[in-house]
Structure 1
Amino acid sequence: MNKTPLDDNALARLFTQARTYNSWSERPVDDATVRQLYALVSQGPTTANSNPGRFVFVRSAEARQRLRPHLSEGNVEKTMSAPCCVIVAYDTQFYEFMPQLFPGRDFSTTFAGKDAVIADTATRSSTLAGAYLILAARALGLDAGPMSGFNKDTLDAEFFPVGRWKSNFLCNIGYGTEEKLFPRNPRLSFEQACLDL
């Protein structure tokens, strides 16, 4: 594998010039891109390769209308106009897949019956997977608009009535437009946010 640092253009696309988009072109996110996006996301590290993240790609007009009532008022317009809104969720029984995902070790006693460990692992690793989703989308030439303004209880009842999957956050993806793009806000300095021991 090439370990040469990414050039400034690549870093700009992923981080320094990337933005949270609020308006979108009508260009759709096609099936191949959705599958490529997940293929990249699935390669990111999670606790013991547990991969508890689950993703609902809300693309059809019908599915967007199902999503609409659960959104906070400020998120309705931008989500309805996005070609895809991803419900980043987690599987509360992700450990059932551990024999497939980590065949070299038996994790049955690590998770079985340990609700706090399951919840902690599922939340942390699905949040990581959602971050990978944002970066993978940018790497594929898409833009992302992550958000948390929605009613988790009603959304989960609508999309996950069995109760096994639980929503974490939402992320609009597509091809963003400059309209409604806010100025970039400041970030904390290294000294404010880090300790170098």
Structure 2
Amino acid sequence: MTSTASLADALHVPQNVQDLLFREARTANSFSDEAVSDEQLQAIYDLVKWAPTSMNTQPLRALVVRTAEGRERLLRHMSEGNRAKTASAPVTVVLAADTDFHENLPKTFPHAPNAKDNFADEAGREGFARLNSLLQVGYFIIGVRAAGLAAGPMTGFDNDGVDAEFFADTKWKSLVVVNVGKPGDNPWYDRLPRLDYDEVVETV
């Protein structure tokens, strides 16, 4: 099997960048009280917005939860195992899919002025929005790491409850809740194994 060092040399970016974004990056389960600024969140989004989406639809939406009142509203919908870590994070971001993404198509996909007409079916739009938003979610996690912060993505929450609590007047559908900040005390669980290349890749 090829060594990690040899594989790292096969990539374009330096190994320290590879390690920051991937090998040494971990899902944080506790956070320090160091603040996360709006400027940092804007810088993260400035990377995330370049994620590929079908027809440049960009359906991902984000709710930043940083006030005590907002956090209490969110915590009641988190699963029990996720409440303490969410309560400790300086910022929590609820990532959602906007099923009305097609309203922006005249701006985001201008060379096909009738593209919006392809999404008249709301049920079909929701599946399309979820798939493309999840592509953007992956970029969001990498963006948080690029900012020198830890991300704690979670799907253990009541989606319907969160949607009713925060998105009742929108067409947003919650997907993932991500705690963001500097790691706190004992932030990491034991590193779990990853599948090797030969276990997941086939070539034809």
Fold conserved between structures, TM > 0.5:
yes
Identify unmatched segments of 5+ residues in structure 2: 1-10
1:26 corresponds to: 33
CA distance in 2, matches of 1:141, 1:83: 15
CA distance in 2, matches of 1:123, 1:35: 23
Out of 154, 157, 160, the residue aligned to residue 153 of structure 1 is 160
Per the TM alignment, residue 108 of structure 1 is displaced from its structure 2 partner at its CA by: 2.2
1:59 corresponds to: 66
1:37 corresponds to: 44
- Structural RMSD (CA): 1.3
Out of 103, 114, 128, the residue aligned to residue 121 of structure 1 is 128
Per the TM alignment, residue 24 of structure 1 is displaced from its structure 2 partner at its CA by: 0.5
Out of 190, 193, 197, the residue aligned to residue 200 of structure 2 is 193
The answer on 1:111 being equivalent to 2:119 is yes
CA distance in 1, matches of 2:175, 2:146: 22
CA distance in 2, matches of 1:194, 1:162: 43
TM-score computed with the length of structure 2 as normaliser: 0.91
SS in 1 for 2:81: helix
CA distance in 1, matches of 2:14, 2:138: 21
Percent of aligned pairs with the same residue?
A: 40
Out of 191, 196, 203, the residue aligned to residue 184 of structure 1 is 191
1:94 corresponds to: 101
2:79 corresponds to: 72
Per the TM alignment, residue 176 of structure 1 is displaced from its structure 2 partner at its CA by: 1.1
Which residue identity is paired with 1:176? P
CA deviations 1:80-136 (Å, max 9, x no partner) are 100111100011110000000011113123212x23431222001111111111000
TM-score computed with the length of structure 1 as normaliser: 0.94
2:20 corresponds to: 13
Count of aligned pairs between the two proteins: 193
What stretches of structure 1 move > 4 A for 4+ residues in a row? none
CA distance in 1, matches of 2:178, 2:108: 26
SS in 2 for 1:66: helix
CA distance in 2, matches of 1:121, 1:39: 23
2:169 corresponds to: 162
Per the TM alignment, residue 62 of structure 1 is displaced from its structure 2 partner at its CA by: 1.4
